[in-house]
Amino acid sequence: MTGYLGSYATLGLLLLASALFFVTAFSANRVLRPSRPADPWSKRTSYECGLDPVGGDWAQVQIRYYVYAYLYVLFAVEAVFLFPWALVFDRPGFGLVTVAEMGIFVAVVALGILYAWRKNILRWT
């Protein structure tokens, strides 16, 4: 489809096809599932390595695990920026500018590692 409204028609057809796929998938799930999925009742209990669950359903988690996850996401996302930098670095006229930008980038990553090191976050004890 060409023209100004053609792109909107393509978008509309795509949205209609995705909604139709969504409705079809959930309808097939309802038709094909077992009629009594939780019979007997013991199927609804938690499964912990073949043992019956002990204790309540509330558990306290230490905050350091969230800090590890945050640091991983921080450095993983920053590592994604290395790929575009590597592509632009080879082009003529971008050499000094891209080296300066990568220097700033490495400085930010180094500050993050230094902060984590000073707070003893990287020590697993």
Asked whether residue 15 is assigned to any structural domain, the reply reads: yes
Asked whether residue 124 is assigned to any structural domain, the reply reads: no
Asked whether residue 39 is assigned to any structural domain, the reply reads: yes
> Which CATH number characterizes residue 105's domain?
1.20.58.1610
CA distances from 29 to 33, 34, 63, 93 (A): 6, 10, 39, 57
Q: Which pLDDT tens digit goes with each residue over 71-108?
A: 788 778 777 877 777 777 777 777 777 788 888 888 98
Give the mean pLDDT of the chain.
79
The pTM (predicted TM-score) of the whole model is 0.40
Asked whether residue 58 is assigned to any structural domain, the reply reads: yes
Q: How far apart are the first and last CA of the chain?
A: 62
pLDDT of the residue at 1 = 60
Query: Domains in the chain: how many in total?
Result: 1
DSSP string, 52-69: ---S-S-----HHHHHHH
pLDDT of the residue at 48 = 58
Containing structural domain, residue 64: 4-119
Contacts of residue 74, defined as CB under 8 A and 6 or more positions apart, other chains included, come to 112
